Structure 1
Amino acid sequence: MSGAYIAMNRFKVLKGSEAAFEQVWLSREVHLHKVPGFVSFHLLRGPQMEEYSLYSSHTVWRSRADFEGWTRSQAFRDSHKNAGEHKPLYAGHPQFEGFDVLQTVLQDGTRIITDDQTPA
């Protein structure tokens, strides 16, 4: 059984730039749904630190292979074509984190365990 994959990017948004950052993300054209294996996307607002506010984009994929297919797709290029225009909003580069899902617990208590995942 192949497990899901979660791709996350953490953004350190400069103080005072939060509204502009959110506007960029909330108004941009979405291309994720055009790619096989896409499950869901979440834009997360986190804690405010002294110099920045933490945000994260959180995308769930059917598999790591589906995520990797997204990164090679025209939809990916279309989604990121204007990313460099907003650099003054960030303190540094986004930090990517990818995770293989080992267990999922559903609202009804059902547990889904992916038993073919081995630690790297």
Structure 2
Amino acid sequence: MNFIAMNRFKVGKGNEQAFESVWLNREIHLHKEPGFIEFHLLRGPDRDDHVLYSSHTVWESEANFTAWTKSQSFRDAHKGVGERGSLYLGHPEFEGFTVIQTVAADGTSEAAE
């Protein structure tokens, strides 16, 4: 069963470009991690005091994701995060999901076992 790890970020108004720049200009190593499938950075709704963003990674399993969170690669990817705290309203919110069903563009459906 695939696992999706998501973080939601409330980015303060006026900080959108700086936030996106951090992500778009970072050194990427996720593709080297066992079980990694893909990553997405999403821009969401514009609220009164923030813009909602979400990042999510898709992994072959929750175990692959957990192993990554304990790796040097994870620590390297997250160093300096505290220095960028002024971009956010509060802390990012983590949510993890086990994939139950996948529907492909060709209409085929696959249920997790």
TM-score range, shorter chain: over 0.9
Q: Which residue type is aligned with residue 84 of structure 1?
A: G
Greater CA deviation, 104-113 or 87-96? Answer: 104-113
Q: What is the percent sequence identity of the aligned residues? A: 63
- Residue 118 of structure 1 is matched in structure 2 by none
Asked if the contact 1:31–1:78 (Cα under 8 Å) also holds between the matched residues in 2, the reply is no
Taking the aligned partners of 1:31 and 1:97, their CA distance within structure 2 comes to 22
| Helix, strand or coil at the partner of 1:66 | helix
- Residue 18 of structure 1 is matched in structure 2 by 16
Taking the aligned partners of 2:97 and 2:24, their CA distance within structure 1 comes to 24
Would you identify which runs of 4 or more consecutive aligned residues in structure 1 move more than 4 Å? none
- Of the three residues 71, 74, 77, the one matched with 2:72 is 74
Shift of 1:48: 0.5
Normalised by the size of structure 2, how large is the TM-score? Answer: 0.98
The Cα offsets for residues 65-112 of structure 1, whole Å up to 9 and x where unpaired, read as 000011011110110011111010000000000000000011111111
- Of the three residues 78, 83, 86, the one matched with 1:85 is 83
- Count of matched residue positions in the alignment of Structure 1 and Structure 2: 113
Asked if the contact 1:37–1:67 (Cα under 8 Å) also holds between the matched residues in 2, the reply is yes
| Helix, strand or coil at the partner of 2:94 | strand
Shift of 1:47: 0.4
Taking the aligned partners of 1:88 and 1:31, their CA distance within structure 2 comes to 25
| Alignment gaps of 5+ in structure 2 | none
Taking the aligned partners of 1:55 and 1:28, their CA distance within structure 2 comes to 17
Taking the aligned partners of 2:15 and 2:34, their CA distance within structure 1 comes to 34
- Residue 49 of structure 1 is matched in structure 2 by 47
